[in-house]
Structure 1
Amino acid sequence: MVDRIDKARRSALMGRIRAKNTSPELAVRRAAHAAGLRFRLHRKDLPGRPDLVFPRYRLVVFVHGCFWHRHQGCPKCTDPKTNAEFWSAKLAANVERDARIEQELRSLGWRVEIIWECETRTPGSLVERLKAMTR
């Protein structure tokens, strides 16, 4: 399948994808705050700069995009048809990096939780999940 957008426009669109303060991340932050939890953001002294850090519970939370971090079984986890070799290598490297960072954090004594983009749709269940993580 041919990309419907020219190369320059596609590059501009892809360049606008943010790594921090994404909509799913903001939803998790709102839910954590609603649950009465206090956290730190993107701590630079921890491997991978976790999205949320709950020092009191020795817990780090990553909010992963389903496409970028390959959420298995999720409809958002599609394979690009254009430039497939590049994308499969890039996305595989993301998964490999995630596993390495998770292992590093666990070896430092942190608990690691992943919240997927598709799980941020219902704020109520998100609040309950965050409360369960911090018990």
Structure 2
Amino acid sequence: MTGPESDRPDLAAMAARLARSLVAAERPVLAAHDVSMWGYVVLGALADEPMRTQAALARAIGADKTRIIGTLDELQERALIEREPDPDDRRVRLLRLTPAGRHLYAAVRADIRAGEERLLAGLAEADRRTFLRVLRRLDPADG
């Protein structure tokens, strides 16, 4: 490749800088709602659908199943999630959001999206739509 594109940083370098910036922007939002990043990730995964096991949840969010136990304990203590025995197999714990968990997730997500809107406001509308479409297309989770 020659021309101006050959002088650009690697995609991983640009994506990593953007990701770090976005995570840094989310930290105060999460703190204001008294939820950890992992807590928010768990709430988001359970907002889409209840999970049949903690191991399935861990796989869905890309976490070690032993690492999320403390997060699940905290969310349950705050009545944000429920872990109930499966009536068909009492060794299995069904995980789902409570109404309070759903409300908290929606509030955090709205505040995060407001910050994203401020960031994206610097783009022309066509560029913004293209950027979001390309991110979705390249997202391995959507593949």
Tell me the TM-score normalized by structure 2: 0.33
| Structure with the higher fraction of residues in helix conformation | 2
Larger radius of gyration: 2
Greater relative contact order (Cα 8 A, min sep 6): structure 1 or 2? Answer: 1
Tell me the TM-score normalized by structure 1: 0.34
